Amino acid sequence: MALHVVALDDYQGLVAEYRLDGQPDGAQWTAIREHLADDALVAALRGADVIVAMRERTRFDRALLRQLPDLKLLVTTGRANAAIDLAAAAEHGVAVSGTDGPRSANTAELTWALILSLVRHLPAEIAAVRRGGWQHTVGMDLMGATLGLAGLGRIGSQMARIGQAFEMDVIAWSQHLDPAAAAEKGVRAVSQANLFATADVLSIHLVLSDRTRGLVTERELRQMKPTAYLVNTSRGPIIERAALLRALQEGWIAGAGLDVYDAEPLPPNDPLLNATNVLLSPHLGYVTARTMQTWYADAVDDIAAWQRGEPIRVLTGG
């Protein structure tokens, strides 16, 4: 019998666009175009030999895996996925493989799109032009302003270089940031309190963990300037949701740009949708043609290698 592959969260219809049905060796692909959860998710996955999961959108915990007795291989886009219980997968005999990706600045690029749109009020001004209006707001200069980075890893370092190209003063903080290493990148290491109090634009580039979950609270948001902007393209739960809503509604900060949320997709009744000083994008940080093509090609390679009994890019709990 043909291998049954289910691809989750194929919002853009890429399984069809990349003509993946039949790859490899006659595998039959089912693409799920919308996000599913609970009973609908179990029903869609029942009978699947292989599941291709898009990042961390779906939690594969022990309870879900127990309901998928036919599952043999779980492929995740990327080389890590905190939403997969690897120990439970191993107990159920499910192999887990990841994918590589091209060297890319796509998340940094998306972050700068949000920043530039925020500080120059582009969505409002573009909408006004379409209504026949002209120049309703005054934007902020980036030249000479301070870019604050929570995290100076791969993406944070890309952000720093672009900020320096705009002639911004770049500061950074993370719990284990080495001031000497930051200085080598032309970045000044500061305390957490100083980061929030000083930045004109504060961008978050931290991995979600027990240490960073809920890191940004009311205290940090109240430390920010009322003219400052907060941008999060990392993970939603790093910022305490209720505190951010109050900050936007009560004007503690000038505005925010968000690409990530506690719940994704964003529920239709979410109060963030009513905030006028926030830009909301649908977790587009990594969604570029080059990255998606690489991920799906790697997923096919993962399946073929597993069929040969030689799984590659295997994720383990160690």
Catalytic residue among 130, 283, 290, 308: 283
Number of other residues whose CB lies within 10 A of the CB of residue 251: 11
Q: If phi over 0 gives left and psi between -120 and 50 gives alpha, with beta otherwise, what is residue 182?
A: alpha
Long-range contacts of residues 187-192, Cβ cutoff 8 Å, at least 24 apart = 187/149, 187/152, 187/160, 190/148, 192/220
Could you give the CA distance from residue 22 to residue 290 in angstroms, rounded to a whole number? 22
Catalytic residue among 35, 120, 264, 313: 264
Catalytic residue among 55, 57, 205, 235: 235
State which H helix or E strand residue 299 sits in.
helix 289-307
Instruction: DSSP for 208-224, please give it.
Output: -STTTTT-B-HHHHHHS
264 is a catalytic site residue? yes
Terminal alpha carbon distance of the chain: 34
235 is a catalytic site residue? yes
Catalytic residue annotation: 235, 264, 283
